Amino acid sequence: MGSKMNLTDAVTFLLVVLLATASRAQGTDFNVKHTGAKANGKSDDSQAILSSWKQACQSPGPSTVVIPKGTYLAGSLQFQGPCRSKSIDFQVQGTIKAPADPSQIKTDSWVLFQNVDGLSVSGGGTFDGQGAVAWSQNDCAKTGKCNSLPINLAFTSLTNSKIQDITSLDSKLFHMNIINCNNVTFKGITITAPETSLNTDGIHIGRSTGVTISGANIKTGDDCVSLGDGAQQIHIEGVTCGPGHGISIGSLGKYQNEEPVIGVTARNCTLTNTMNGIRVKTWPASPSGVASDLHFEDFTMNNVSTPILIDQQYCPYNQCQQKIPSKVKISKVSFKNIRGTTATAMAVRLVCSRGVPCQGVDVGDINLKYTGKNGSATSECSNVKPTTSGQLFPKICAESS
């Protein structure tokens, strides 16, 4: 009789263990409404959202933060790791709205995800930065300093993570800033702000390796995608951009000890009514730097001003020494199958540094038609001797110096 009881106890214990294991495998949901979020667009829901994050981060198994449909007013949201859970899904189904007054956000970024491995942010929801007041206070053009306003979404020191199907709306400064990340994918991203919104770069990547942007619709007042120093092994595909300033490498060479930009591929993108198309930009009088292995392929340009541009005399606020050449070395760059229309006669402008001329620039299958009335599309080249192939309109570097 005793042996039968022991067997029964053992079976019961095993079932309890299996049920607990299955529960952990399925994950645990942490709904922000259960921690006090009102979702009325007026009450401050910051602490409720942060409380749900803390619970999910400390959970031993897979966990999900759920932000249901509704409008959640929230100040600074700093989602910090490392987490005990090795898989956190941050599900935004509603709209999280920032205070309109930028002085109410005391941090560099309004929403920050930092030091997390295995993060997923998804759900189809919106991060509304309410940036109109901030744009009116932005004095970048006068001071040359643009870091006093908060970024909408900062992703810092993330690994093995995916950001998918979310919207950044009306950011006060950059929409998304990706720093010190490794193996992170951005898919199905929507970014929206008016053309007049100052310094609202769509997606900025710096000092990160293995970042993929796949399918993004970006309308903003600055670069749709920009890559800063240390961006390496970056893949960009299926981006639609406009209004905005195009897709940019740089600006580089403004600061000491910048890390190299190496291994960037962008393809199958469409730019419409943008200030520039594909741009590589470095400051004159710069410290030494490197930008290499940069490849742009299968782009459609619709009424884009200067669709192809290398600018090593970049000086937007006239606060630099133009006569001293840039020391950023640009090499192994290709522009292939770039087609469409240009809003200015200067369709292709390759202005490299006389101190360290560009090397290994390859241009092929270019067909850019000028939509204006003053002649046809032209190109300008200096300190570069590109290799050319295929159909070329306009002719590239016909009179290069």
Inside any domain, residue 292: yes
The C-alpha atoms of residue 274 and residue 252 are separated, in whole angstroms, by: 21
Cα four-point dihedral sign 280, 285, 290, 292: positive
3-state secondary structure of 21: helix
- Catalytic positions: 222, 245
Q: Is the pLDDT of residue 20 over 50?
A: no
Q: What is the mean pLDDT of residues 86-93?
A: 96
Inside any domain, residue 10: no
Higher pLDDT, residue 55 or 319: 55
Take residue 168 and report the two structure tokens written for it.
């950044």
Q: What is the mean pLDDT of residues 255-284?
A: 97
Burial (CB count <10 Å: 0-12, 13-18, 19+), residue 235: middle
Burial (CB count <10 Å: 0-12, 13-18, 19+), residue 215: middle
| Cβ atoms of residues 124 and 80 within 8 Å | no
Predicted pLDDT of residue 360:
98
The C-alpha atoms of residue 308 and residue 346 are separated, in whole angstroms, by: 9
Q: What is the mean pLDDT of residues 359-364?
A: 98
Q: What is the mean pLDDT of residues 306-316?
A: 95
User: E strand or H helix at 46, and its extent?
Assistant: helix 46-58
Predicted pLDDT of residue 2:
44
Q: Is the pLDDT of residue 75 over 70?
A: yes
| Cβ atoms of residues 164 and 216 within 8 Å | no
Inside any domain, residue 84: yes
**What residues contact 288, with CB distance under 8 A and at least 6 apart?**
327, 328, 329
Inside any domain, residue 313: yes
Looking at residue 287, what DSSP letter applies?
Answer: P
Round the average pLDDT of the chain to a whole number and report it: 92
Predicted pLDDT of residue 1:
44
Amino acid, single-letter form, for residue 98? A
Residue indicated by tokens 């229309």: 341
| Cβ atoms of residues 273 and 302 within 8 Å | yes
Inside any domain, residue 15: no
Domain count, the chain: 1
> How many residues make up the chain in this entry?
401
| Cβ atoms of residues 184 and 178 within 8 Å | yes
The C-alpha atoms of residue 282 and residue 295 are separated, in whole angstroms, by: 17
Q: What is the pLDDT of residues 237-256, one digit of tens each?
A: 999 999 999 999 999 999 99
The C-alpha atoms of residue 262 and residue 155 are separated, in whole angstroms, by: 21
Inside any domain, residue 8: no
Q: What is the mean pLDDT of residues 145-167?
A: 92
Of residues 129, 133, 183, the one with CA closest to residue 153: 129
Inside any domain, residue 22: no
Inside any domain, residue 23: no
The C-alpha atoms of residue 373 and residue 376 are separated, in whole angstroms, by: 8
CATH of the domain at 217: 2.160.20.10
Domain span at residue 233? 30-393
